[in-house]
């Protein structure tokens, strides 16, 4: 009996130290993550938007926080896009995959909670799992800081998109706010300014509570 107690105490001590180490590493990593520096001089909006529109292949790594009504969650994010075909993966702090959404022109496949869901489009799958109505096609442009036709937007003092309000069919009531633009290198050696902080909000409607997505991007790869 005494040996069992000692073994149990050693196990508990190991778990406590392991959790403490994980918390310390998270603190160090967050402390080492600094916000990118924006442009020193004003940019030309037309040239900026043309460059952003030409970015068809990209990958972002960061964190995403969901909030809908009283429900909220925060997870790690890896999102890789190739001309509209993309893989969207959410993991916990241990790196365990919780949600994986793979979208191609042929079909959309969502894996979550040990189940696999298939549909022609990603929006019904997202709604089935989360209850959120998210305009995925529009989101692929918005995360780059690229307004769509009909979107109303404001600019920062440096000429980059600061906020936008969407009026496109199927994505009304969505508002986007940007922050922490950073210079990201393109294949041709030039660079483009991309946001590293994005907040997307859909105002409350009779059928849907207020929805908010906050994305903090640690790394863009083009």
d(CA 171, CA 185): 31
> Which of 51-60, 99-108, 205-214 is the least confident region?
205-214
CATH of 45-221 given 3.40.50.300, 1.10.510.10, 2.160.10.10, 2.50.20.10: 2.50.20.10
* pLDDT at residue 3 in the model: 43
- Section 191-210 average pLDDT: 88
Each domain of the chain, given as residue ranges in start order, spans 45-221
Section 123-141 average pLDDT: 91
Q: Does residue 131 or residue 86 have the better pLDDT?
A: 86
Q: What does the pLDDT read at residue 69?
A: 83
In this predicted model, what pLDDT tens digit does every residue of 72-122 receive, in sequence order?
999 999 999 999 999 999 999 899 999 999 999 999 999 998 999 999 999
Q: How far apart, in whole angstroms, are the C-alpha atoms of residue 7 and residue 15?
A: 12
39, pLDDT greater than 50: yes
Q: What is residue 37's predicted lDDT score, i.e. its pLDDT?
A: 74
Mean per-residue pLDDT, 199-212: 84
Confidence of residue 139 (pLDDT cuts 50, 70, 90): very high
Are the beta carbons of 205 and 189 closer than 8 angstroms? no
pLDDT at 34: 64
pLDDT (mean) for 186-193: 93
Query: CA-based angle 107:112:115, to the nearest 5?
Result: 80
Give me the pLDDT at residue 7, please. Answer: 39
Query: Could you tell me which residue, 27 or 187, shows the higher pLDDT?
Result: 187
Which pTM value belongs to this model? Answer: 0.82
What's the chain's average pLDDT? 85
Residue 26: pLDDT band with limits 50, 70, 90: very low
Higher-pLDDT residue of 153 and 69 is 153
């Amino acid at each position: 009996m005494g040996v069992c107690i000692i073994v149990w105490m050693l196990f508990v001590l190991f778990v406590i130290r392991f959790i403490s180490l994980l918390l310390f590493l998270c603190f160090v990593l967050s402390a080492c993550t600094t916000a990118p520096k924006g442009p020193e001089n004003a940019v030309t909006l037309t040239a900026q938007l043309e460059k952003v529109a030409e970015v068809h292949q990209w990958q972002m790594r960061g964190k995403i926080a969901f909030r809908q009504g009283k429900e909220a969650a925060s997870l790690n994010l890896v999102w890789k896009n190739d001309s509209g075909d993309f893989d969207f993966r959410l993991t916990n702090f241990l790196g365990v995959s919780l949600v994986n959404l793979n979208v191609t022109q042929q079909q959309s496949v969502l894996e979550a909670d040990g189940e696999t869901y298939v549909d022609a489009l990603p929006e019904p799958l997202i709604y089935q799992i989360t209850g959120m109505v998210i305009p995925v096609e529009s989101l692929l442009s918005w995360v780059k800081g690229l307004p769509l036709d009909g979107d109303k937007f404001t600019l920062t003092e440096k000429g980059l998109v600061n906020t936008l309000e969407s009026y496109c069919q199927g994505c009304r009531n969505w508002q986007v706010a940007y922050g922490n633009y950073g210079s990201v290198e393109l294949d041709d050696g030039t660079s483009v300014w991309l946001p590293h902080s994005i907040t997307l909000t859909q105002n409350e409607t009779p059928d849907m509570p207020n929805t908010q997505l906050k994305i903090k991007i640690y790394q863009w790869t083009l």
